[in-house]
A and B are shown apart, each in its own frame.
Chain A
């Protein structure tokens, strides 16, 4: 009734090709932005920022990055944790070497460095596919973790190999370190997510994204119609790694404040982000956000319900939490193998017809 294309007249090409062709979607999009930037920053406290929003926003950036590679370009990667570590150690080295430069520039540079590393580890994708590529990226994961453990230069020769984020600011507003306000942390991550999600959405709608999808759907056919697999695959690796590097930089500098490569960026992190992408929906920006929300917010929610409200012992609650999340993942993937994004798409299809189903 209210959710339909009919009656929403487009009179120019830009209007015709906009991201949200339906008026209701556009209003919803602006409403979400208004809540995210106009309301939440005024009410957020340290708990909500550090336990809920900041991890969600950072994982969402990483999930979008991995979705570009796996969902849009079809190149399976298990090296996400290692690439996040590159971002984290790059931002640490930059922060300590150039303390007077704005942290935003450092974060973007860290993303750029990760993009370079990603391209190098993306080179095997030109020769191998599928599971074999997954194994090659797995090697990247283990190599990078080993490297940051082994070479003391990366952690400034500290005794324990831990890196700690010193206090840095943007135009006087503190962004990293213990004196950061909850609102500053949240807004910094939210703005970067907005910018990167916008970029990802438009890249995937444009010629670059179409080349990626052509490679994903059938690489030989894509080559025959003139898509260069070298540039398509390597650009996917570069852009995906840029996103993941930014996420890693934020994860260390803004969220954790101190990190250790094996514990924070181990193989579990690669799997966690891959699960976010699979559960959220391959090849969908919304799916990346939904997957990150599912795997970040649900454990915190369950913990607060089981321990805080029902007063269960913490160990029992922790085990039940694993059971519930595992069960929900199975239910989700049986009910909808294409992820939460597909459920959302189906809901929109139904909404278009509602209330007249025929």
Chain B
């Protein structure tokens, strides 16, 4: 039994190992479990963009990109297994789409020299490149999202939130707890009252939280939810007739499958977004021609153009640009993990470059430096139109309040540095 097991695993690992010259970007995805509704479109978008580069351009700089997929089910133990299984294959960058797995991988990728790219999730204080050398979370993160939501509410209320009551409905995990500190600081600064309502994993049971909202009547509700929790919360809000346009979700609580179950009740629900959605981008013509019509699409192919598909594609686009940047700096197309890390650190995405890729006005322009791995942190507000079944952008790019966030990032990252004896870089 043991011998057979050894032989089988050895064979499996050899079968999974790609040729050495390829660029390997593992896709730690989750297509099963309670968070699969979010994991599937993201993984599809991520895979499809790299397939497009391989089919249309022959990879990046002539090097094929290999994207081995590994199922984590949003579970940290399986995440470890996936990381160990893929790191021996020359993996260059990881994007696990899970804050819990991100926390585990931060020390591991730093020791192994590969990069961790966590757009809009993960550990917010990783924006401080002085402490977190191998982690990148531009263009925006959990704390900037909280601040953008408050800034949006400020603009809605004529710049004054004094005496208002804002409830935070959050997933009771590392992810959901991230914005609390920021919101507490902001509530002190702007004088609103913050009500915290945690929801336990996986989030199907929220009666008591919404009962409390009905009793306390907050002026606004901000939600940090994921998976089935989003749809349940929106349904419950509709049930208690909470005004939907006073209800704002973070970008992880703003996909089609979150609002569709509530039907017309979800009309007017708002969420943040850090990129555009929908099919009105030139890149989709190429995706259709080279990927979907060629029968090479990932998954069932029914997710194209959805919010989370777009986000998976956005993450893949940034990683691809970082690989390209790394090739330019290193002067070789067969880049290694250390060179890719440098590619991430000096990455600049301009509006012109995004238009060139076929995604004009899709995301914000940003530039990474040695100190700043976090980007500008802007976001837009989108609103759900239940009759047209469509998200509409209703604001321009809103800036976060970095005066509040930057000291918090410094404090948290310095605590991590002290705990782990990390010498600050970039001096």
Contacts and interface: CB of A to CB of B under 8 A. Distances in A.
A83 B278 CA distance: 48
A167 B85 contact: no
Interface stretch (B11-19, B240-248, B349-357): B11-19
Interface in A282-338: 297, 300-301, 303-305, 307-309, 311, 313-315, 317-319
Given A258-B103, A308-B15, A50 B84 contact: yes
A21 interface: no
B421 A159 contact: no
Contact of A50 (B81, B181, B408): B81
B237 interface: no
Contacts of A315: 31-32, 36, 40, 71
Contacts of B107: 164, 177-178, 257-258
A162 B71 contact: no
B73 A318 contact: yes
A314 B5 contact: no
Interface in B182-206: 198, 200-201
Interface string B93-133: 00000011001101110111000000000011100000000
B419 A96 contact: yes
A300 B419 contact: no
A262 B173 contact: yes
Contact of A317 (B16, B40, B71, B174): B71
B420 A301 contact: no
A160 B172 contact: no
Interface in B21-50: 29, 31-32, 36, 40
Contact of B415 (A156, A262, A266, A319): A156
A263 B100 contact: yes
Nearest to B13: A308
Contacts of B103: 160, 162, 164, 258, 260
B420 A166 contact: yes
A99 B167 CA distance: 39
A257 B84 contact: no
A123 interface: no
Given A178-B107, A318-B32, A159 B177 contact: yes
A318 B82 CA distance: 13
Contacts of A317: 71
B32 A319 contact: yes
A239 B181 CA distance: 40
Contact of B201 (A158, A161, A167, A263): A263
Nearest to B69: A314
A51 interface: yes
A274 B100 CA distance: 25
Contact of B173 (A96, A263, A301, A309): A263
Given A160-B123, A315-B31, A262 B172 contact: yes
A222 interface: no
A55 to B, nearest CB: 7
A47 B13 contact: yes
Given A159-B124, A164-B416, A178 B177 contact: no
Contact of A314 (B31, B88, B123, B412): B31
Given A46-B87, A309-B12, A167 B421 contact: yes
A260 B79 CA distance: 14
A158 B70 CA distance: 30
Nearest to A50: B84
B180 to A, nearest CB: 8
A207 interface: no
A342 interface: no
A234 interface: no
A158 B414 CA distance: 11
Nearest to A182: B84
Contact of A305 (B8, B100, B124, B172): B8
B47 to A, nearest CB: 11
B420 A167 contact: yes
Given A314-B31, A318-B71, A262 B201 contact: yes
B198 to A, nearest CB: 8
A196 interface: no
B369 interface: no
A25 to B, nearest CB: 19
> Which residue, A96, A156, A179, A304, has most C-beta atoms of chain B within 10 A?
A304
Contacts of A50: 80-81, 84
Nearest to B420: A166
A71 B175 CA distance: 38
Nearest to A316: B31
Contact of B88 (A47, A256, A307, A319): A47
B324 to A, nearest CB: 28
A258 B105 CA distance: 9
A95 B175 CA distance: 24
A122 B123 CA distance: 38
Contacts of A166: 419-421
B76 interface: yes
A355 B71 CA distance: 48
A256 B419 contact: no
Contacts of B123: 160, 162
A259 interface: yes
A255 B420 CA distance: 17
Interface in A163-182: 164, 166-167, 177-179
B420 A55 contact: no
A177 B112 CA distance: 12
A51 B81 contact: yes
Contacts of A51: 80-81, 84-85
A301 B124 CA distance: 35
Given A156-B415, A262-B201, 16 more contacts: A47-B85, A50-B81, A51-B84, A160-B177, A162-B174, A164-B420, A256-B80, A257-B107, A258-B100, A258-B107, A260-B76, A262-B173, A263-B76, A263-B100, A307-B16, A308-B15
Interface of A: 45-47, 50-51, 55, 96, 149, 156, 158-162, 164, 166-167, 177-179, 255-260, 262-264, 266, 297, 300-301, 303-305, 307-309, 311, 313-315, 317-319
11 contacts: A47-B85, A55-B77, A156-B415, A160-B174, A164-B107, A255-B80, A258-B106, A263-B76, A264-B76, A308-B13, A311-B15
Interface of B: 5, 8-9, 11-13, 15-16, 29, 31-32, 36, 40, 69-71, 73, 75-77, 80-81, 84-85, 87-88, 99-100, 103-104, 106-108, 110-112, 123-125, 172-175, 177-178, 180-181, 198, 200-201, 408, 412, 415-416, 419-421
